[in-house]
């Protein structure tokens, strides 16, 4: 047990080498696109809308595709009204308030790791960001569940409770719905992977140095 504690302590005290610091800095910069590109996209197709209705979900807003004669978000909310679903309103999504804040905080913490160069700080950052990603996905799914299950019983069109797809395809009434992550989410997914690479490189460099010194 004592050896395990010693090895764990030694790992957390491992210095982060320059190559790993560069990777951490790159990971921090990869979070910038999440402020400009959608994290998720949903598309709805039916005989009424063969060209599809498109909803883009950013880290801070909802946005439907727009044309001179149509706003897809307004069209989706009109359809939601008929089946008794609440309108999609940005004020109902508390995620838009804390997701950009957390992303900015992670970027600052990553810069802190680059400056301090300690493995323990990098591990803390990796755990924090991983938890943030898992919680965000759960929050998204929970929101979809609530929207599909809290239906107005007095709605013009009665449909059984449902959960819109978070990933993939689903048929809802006469609509084919497709939901997939977009550019912003792909950049976010790379960040913890780069943190792991930085951990591995720094650990390998320390072991190599210890062998040389011995």
pLDDT at 209: 64
Give 153-163 pLDDT, tens digit per residue.
Answer: 887 778 788 88
Evaluate if residue 147 carries a pLDDT over 90: no
Closest C-alpha to 49, from 213, 175, 180, 183: 175
Distance CA 52, CA 170 (A): 14
Q: Is residue 47 part of a domain?
A: yes
**Total structural domains within the chain:** 1
Torsion of CA 79, 85, 89, 94, to 10 degrees: -150
User: For residue 117, how many other CB atoms are within 10 A of its CB?
Assistant: 18
User: CA 188, 190, 194 angle in degrees (round to 5)?
Assistant: 125
Q: Which range has highest mean pLDDT (103-117, 172-186, 193-207)?
A: 103-117
Evaluate if residue 40 carries a pLDDT over 60: yes
The pLDDT confidence band at residue 174, using thresholds 50, 70 and 90, is confident
pTM of the model: 0.85
Q: Is residue 127 part of a domain?
A: yes
Distance CA 21, CA 119 (A): 11
Q: Is residue 205 part of a domain?
A: no
Q: Is 70 helix (H, G, I), strand (E, B) or coil?
A: strand
Q: Is residue 122 part of a domain?
A: yes
More confident residue, 209 or 171: 171
Q: Which of 110-114, 172-176, 183-187 is predicted least confidently?
A: 172-176
| For range 31-48, the mean pLDDT | 91
Evaluate if residue 186 carries a pLDDT over 80: yes
Q: Is residue 210 part of a domain?
A: no
Evaluate if residue 58 carries a pLDDT over 80: yes
Q: Is residue 6 part of a domain?
A: no
Mean per-residue pLDDT of the chain? 86
| For range 54-69, the mean pLDDT | 88
Q: Which domain holds residue 34?
A: 17-199
Give 62-85 pLDDT, tens digit per residue.
Answer: 988 887 777 888 888 888 888 888
């Amino acid at each position: 047990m004592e050896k395990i504690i010693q090895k764990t302590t030694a790992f957390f005290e491992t210095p982060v080498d320059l190559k790993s610091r560069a990777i951490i800095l790159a990971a921090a910069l990869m979070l910038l696109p999440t402020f400009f590109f959608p994290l998720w996209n949903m598309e709805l197709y039916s005989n009424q809308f063969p060209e599809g209705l498109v909803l883009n979900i950013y880290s801070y807003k909802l946005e439907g595709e727009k044309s001179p004669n149509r706003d897809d978000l307004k069209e989706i909310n009109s359809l939601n009204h008929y089946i008794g679903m609440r309108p999609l309103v940005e004020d109902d999504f508390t995620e838009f308030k804390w997701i950009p804040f957390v992303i900015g905080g992670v970027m600052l913490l990553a810069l802190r790791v680059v400056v301090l160069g300690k493995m323990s700080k990098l591990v803390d950052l990796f755990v924090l960001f991983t938890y943030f990603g898992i919680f965000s996905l759960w929050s998204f799914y929970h929101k979809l569940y609530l929207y599909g299950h809290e239906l107005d019983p007095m709605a013009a069109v009665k449909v059984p409770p449902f959960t819109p797809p978070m990933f993939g395809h689903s048929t809802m009434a006469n609509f084919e719905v497709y939901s997939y992550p977009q550019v912003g989410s792909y950049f976010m997914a790379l960040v913890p992977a780069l943190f792991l690479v930085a951990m591995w490189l720094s650990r390998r460099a320390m072991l190599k140095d210890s062998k040389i010194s011995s």
